[in-house]
Amino acid sequence: MKKYKIYEFEYFNLNHIENKFGKGRRYGVGKFLSKLYKRTIVFKDVDEDDGYLLNKGFVYLSKIEIERYLGYNKKDGEFEWLTIIKSLNKSGIINYRRNGSNPYDFNKKFWFFKLNDEFFNCKKSYVDIESKTLNKWISKQNNHYLNKVSGIKEKGIKGMDKFLLYELDVCIGTELNIENLDLVIEQRINSKLKEYRDKLNWDWLGEKSKKKILNKLFDEEKFINRYKLLLNQKYQTIKSDLEYLKDGQYFELSSDYFRRDNYGYRIYNIYSRCIREFRDFIKIDGEDTVEVDLKNSMISVFYYFIKLLNDENKNLKIHLIKEIYHKLIKLNEGEINDSRLGLLYLDRWEYIKNYGDKFNNDYYDFLREESGLTDLSRNSFKELLWLILFGRDSQLQKLKLRENSYEEVKHLVLGNSRFLVDDLRSISLYNWNKKNYKYYKNISLILHTLERMIMDLVSQKMIENGYKYISIFDSFLVKKSEGKEIQKLLNDSVESIDKVFTFRLK
């Protein structure tokens, strides 16, 4: 019988577990904590304390696993797993939160856990699970996992379609070996510090955000050490997950990497959350890789979307566009004119298509000049535009650029297209994503859906032609030797959708 491994933490080791919960729970609770640790590392971000992330440091674990690891029998009128969770929570070892799509049924809510910080700072070792029944159960899960999830037509985590299976298959044949890891991590930290310093100069960035950055820079050494540790842990986690993947131990992976999200069905794989500096070292079938990306992706897709919306043949024929078109008309009490539908926004693109060379064919450079905000850096301008399109209302109301209010900045950057942006943020697309639906996310929801359509289309072309790829949202990692021919194939494909789309080789 194969013995699976878990992390044992000095902070709360297997003997501590045994003393607290008895011999029978030694490896179950150990496995529970080990899985939470690995999953947390995958999602952990050095900026997590700054963000409004739904599950700040919390990670999901399925009820099936919770019950198996912590015990599904009832003792003194309470399930063993619940007693253990409560006890671990009371001792400050874990924290938990219930979340999910059914606000009326507490029992159907999902479980999310957060480990005490000590788990990430203490010494840990990799040890065998010395429990026959637990090893047998894990082995069974591993053997059934892929057959169970592949081909299931279910949105989100549980189902795997052909594109996901293809990427999983490609990822099995990949390697990630970084000889001088310390140097690569140092480069990443330096570019992060540079990014923070640049942000301090962004006029429109709020005082609160700047203060958070300053806090990090104030104790730079502490920040560097914290980030260094996290990046090392991320590298180790991805390395061990790659081994599990190659060994067919899919259930043992830290996370359900291969899935589509509920936000436009974007694809995730084992490398989606891997930092760019690590990605440079990925090899497919032993070959170096290059990145082919969709240039100015989101903003090009926005243009394409407006074009569909303004095209009388399409806005009534294509289900998705028709739905939005009708909702916009209803919002405007039955009448909508070209200007309100963002037609002027299209004219700008005609201009950039004709005079693009002047701006390196870069939309952000073009719009920055047109808005007269040339003193903002490209990154600052891009983030400002993204905030206007995708930001929460509360963030937007606070936005200020020198003496200009949010309404004035929006006018400056979007011109008459601002009406369309406002309208798109006001219609309901609840039926598109019932989980955690928010009106302000409408534009990103629409753009992600269209972007994924384009990425699926070109992915299909690559599969048909036998090319291997790993998708990273709006780009693909491909074999270096095939980079140019793939770029040509993708450009030939997207050109027939619209000339605004271009894939470039990075």
Partner 1 sequence: MTNTTTISNLQTEDYINGYLQIESQLKDKMYFGEMNSFKKQLQNIEWNQLSNH
157 forms part of the interface with partner 1 (CB under 8 A) = no
Q: Judged by CB under 8 A, which of 73, 107, 147, 354 binds partner 1?
A: 147
Per-residue binding letters, 269-308, with partner 1 (x by CB under 8 A): ----------------------------------------
Selected range binding partner 1 among 43-51, 55-63, 416-424, 450-458, rule: CB under 8 A: 450-458
Exposure string for 54-86, b = 16+ CB within 10 A, e = fewer: eeebbbbbeeebbebbbbeeeeeeebbbebbbe
- Binders of partner 1 among residues 236 to 265 (CB under 8 A) are 248
Q: Judged by CB under 8 A, which of 123, 153, 434, 506 binds partner 1?
A: 153
The two beta strands, 287-294 and 400-401, are: unpaired
* CA–CA dist 63, 332 (Å, integer): 46
**Residues binding partner 1: what is the number (CB under 8 A)?**
37
- Give the 3-state secondary structure of 54-74: CCCCCEEECHHHHHHHHCCCE
Selected range binding partner 1 among 163-171, 274-282, 400-408, 414-422, rule: CB under 8 A: 163-171
Selected range binding partner 1 among 167-175, 325-333, 387-395, 479-487, rule: CB under 8 A: 167-175
Counting DSSP H helices and E strands in the chain, the numbers are 21, 17
310 forms part of the interface with partner 1 (CB under 8 A) = no
Q: How far is the CB of 49 from partner 1 (least distance, A)?
A: 38
Selected range binding partner 1 among 40-48, 120-128, 333-341, 464-472, rule: CB under 8 A: 464-472
161 forms part of the interface with partner 1 (CB under 8 A) = yes
316 forms part of the interface with partner 1 (CB under 8 A) = no
Burial label, 450 (beta-carbon count in 10 A; 0-12, 13-18, 19+): buried
* CA–CA dist 455, 446 (Å, integer): 14
Looking up tokens 């999830």 gives 149
* CA–CA dist 48, 328 (Å, integer): 36
Q: Judged by CB under 8 A, which of 317, 326, 330, 435 binds partner 1?
A: 317
168 forms part of the interface with partner 1 (CB under 8 A) = yes
Q: How far is the CB of 144 from partner 1 (least distance, A)?
A: 8
Q: How far is the CB of 464 from partner 1 (least distance, A)?
A: 6
- DSSP per residue, 414-448: HGGGHHHHHHHTTS--GGG--TT--GGGHHHHHHH
In the complex with partner 1, the residue whose CB is nearer, 8 or 482, is 482
Tell me which H or E stretch contains 176.
Answer: strand 174-176
**369 CB-side CA count, 13 A:** 13
Question: What single-letter DSSP state applies at residue 481?
Answer: G
165 forms part of the interface with partner 1 (CB under 8 A) = yes
In the complex with partner 1, the residue whose CB is nearer, 140 or 194, is 140
* CA–CA dist 496, 505 (Å, integer): 19
Q: What angle do CA 482, 488, 494 make, to 5 degrees?
A: 130
83 forms part of the interface with partner 1 (CB under 8 A) = no
Q: How far is the CB of 217 from partner 1 (least distance, A)?
A: 45
319 forms part of the interface with partner 1 (CB under 8 A) = yes
Q: Judged by CB under 8 A, which of 70, 321, 376, 500 binds partner 1?
A: 321
163 forms part of the interface with partner 1 (CB under 8 A) = yes
Q: How far is the CB of 463 from partner 1 (least distance, A)?
A: 5
Q: How far is the CB of 212 from partner 1 (least distance, A)?
A: 40
- Binders of partner 1 among residues 336 to 365 (CB under 8 A) are none
176 forms part of the interface with partner 1 (CB under 8 A) = no
In the complex with partner 1, the residue whose CB is nearer, 99 or 150, is 150
69 forms part of the interface with partner 1 (CB under 8 A) = no
Of 49, 379, 58, 51, nearest in space to 215 by CA: 49
Write the CA distances from 273 to 42, 255, 289, 473, integer angstroms.
7, 11, 17, 10
Partners of 290 in the β-ladder: 478
Q: Judged by CB under 8 A, which of 14, 61, 127, 146 binds partner 1?
A: 146
Q: How far is the CB of 281 from partner 1 (least distance, A)?
A: 20
Q: Judged by CB under 8 A, which of 76, 105, 466, 506 binds partner 1?
A: 466
* CA–CA dist 121, 136 (Å, integer): 31
- DSSP per residue, 108-161: GSEEEEEE-THHHHS-EEEEE---HHHHHHHHHHHHHHHHHHBT---TTTT-B-
162 forms part of the interface with partner 1 (CB under 8 A) = yes
In sequence order, the 6+-apart residues with CB closer than 8 A to the CB of 9 are 33, 37, 118, 119, 122, 123, 124
Question: What single-letter DSSP state applies at residue 2?
Answer: P
Q: Judged by CB under 8 A, which of 61, 193, 320, 329 binds partner 1?
A: 320
172 forms part of the interface with partner 1 (CB under 8 A) = yes
Q: How far is the CB of 168 from partner 1 (least distance, A)?
A: 7
Q: Coil, strand, or helix at residue 162?
A: helix
Q: Judged by CB under 8 A, which of 457, 473, 480, 502 binds partner 1?
A: 457
Asked whether the beta carbons of 503 and 295 are under 8 A apart, the reply is: yes
In sequence order, the 6+-apart residues with CB closer than 8 A to the CB of 486 are 292, 462, 467, 469, 476, 478
Write out the residues near partner 1 by the rule CB under 8 A. 139-140, 143-144, 146-147, 150-151, 153, 161-163, 165-166, 168-170, 172-173, 248, 314, 317-321, 453, 456-457, 460-461, 463-466, 496-497
